[in-house]
Structure 1
Amino acid sequence: MTTPVEHPKKQAKRLRADLATAGFDIPHSLALELIAHQSGAKDWNTLAAATNRRIGPGVPVLRVMSVDVALPFYVGYLGFRLDWAHRFEPGSPRYAQVSRSGATLHLSEHHGDGSPNGVVWFPVADVGGLQRELHARPDPPMRPGVDTDAPGGPTLEVIDPYGNVLRFAQTPPG
């Protein structure tokens, strides 16, 4: 897995290589300092410390009683893909990850993970396009409408087989 500070280090390496091609050899430490300044940091140590404190996006964990029952809804109907599924041993609860267009969800059969009837809100660029896509599925489990007066923008809401609510909202530009 890539640690957060590796990206600026790769930029510094690329900067050194580009400058060397142009006939300018600079030490790696100077390249790091230049990248830090371009990023708005006082120096390399400040940038490295700030980069390592960043928190990535969270991943909602939705409680499902059976991953096998949930997957046709998430993969077949909503168009997510199954990234992976895990169980510690035969007969133990399964845990799976599904994703679509940068959105990631975890589906868990584990008793302590989440509770049924959770809600996840997704920003989308074209809620009408998503609605048309879902309606075009063969034998769709539901034909959701779009609430044009929803507080987060026009919103399409679907409910999975275990009562978890997924809200897809088209946020206003800007």
Structure 2
Amino acid sequence: MTSPTTDHVERLARLLREDLAAAGFAVPHGLALELVAHQFGSRDWTVLAAALGRTAPASGPGVPVLRVMSVPTALPFYVDYLGFTLDWEHRFEPGLPLYVQVSRAGTVLHLSEHHGDGSPHGVVWIPVTDVYALHAELRAKPDAPLRPGVAADAPGGPTLEVIDPYGNVLRFAQAAD
């Protein structure tokens, strides 16, 4: 037998849920994934997915995961104020935590309501080509939640620092000349 893939394991979890449902047992998708992972000898789904290569990017930079308590509360800050775009959102099933991706000009962030995904007050350093243009853009927003300044003498170059509703710090920095 060839090595399983994450798609194969997810299909097995779906089949397990269907078979259990037919027998009168409702099982959430997350629990089905955990049970199948145990059958493959893994501690849990996360460990198995990592071993199968799901969590390792094929190429490219890593993506910061910022912990937020409520995506609906965080999104106006990221989308309306900072100008990010909501790329996608994911829930394992209704009522479970939400996980979303936002992006802007090559910067990609994941916002997660999942308890185990980091903790509030994370810091992300984001390179920008013109921190002063970003500063002017943010200052021009009506009803802006913050009025940050630019620290011209910050390490790494002029930096604009904003803090999201959950204490995560985003440092937009322009490389010093």
Q: Give the TM-score range, shorter chain.
A: 0.5 to 0.7
Structure 1 residues 172 and 69, CA gap change in structure 2 (3 angstroms): same
Whether 1:169 and 2:164 are equivalent positions in the alignment is: no
> Secondary structure of the equivalent of 1:70?
helix
Q: CA deviation at 1:156?
A: 0.3
Instruction: Report Cα offsets for 1:87-115 as digits up to 9, x if no partner.
Output: 11111000000000000000000000011
Q: Provide the residue aligned with 1:44 in structure 2.
A: none
Q: CA deviation at 1:54?
A: 7.0
> Secondary structure of the equivalent of 1:74?
helix
Q: Provide the residue aligned with 1:63 in structure 2.
A: 67
Amino acid at match of 1:82: L
Q: Provide the residue aligned with 1:92 in structure 2.
A: 96
> Secondary structure of the equivalent of 2:114?
coil
Instruction: Report Cα offsets for 1:30-64 as digits up to 9, x if no partner.
Output: xxxxxxxxxxxxxxxxxxxxxxx974200000000
Q: Provide the residue aligned with 2:106 in structure 1.
A: 102
Aligned equivalents of 2:60, 2:160: Cα separation in 1: 26
> Secondary structure of the equivalent of 2:126?
strand
Amino acid at match of 2:71: V
Q: Provide the residue aligned with 2:124 in structure 1.
A: 120
Aligned equivalents of 1:123, 1:97: Cα separation in 2: 18
> Secondary structure of the equivalent of 2:133?
helix
Q: CA RMSD in A?
A: 1.3
Amino acid at match of 1:158: V
Greater Cα radius of gyration, structure 1 or 2: 1
TM-score by length of 1: 0.68
Q: CA deviation at 1:138?
A: 1.2
Whether 1:130 and 2:134 are equivalent positions in the alignment is: yes
Structure 1 segments (4+ residues) deviating >2 Å: none
Aligned positions, number: 121
Alignment of 1:1-174 (within 5 A): 55-173=59-177
Q: CA deviation at 1:152?
A: 1.1
Unaligned 5+ residue runs, structure 2?
1-56
Q: CA deviation at 1:145?
A: 0.2
Identity %: 75
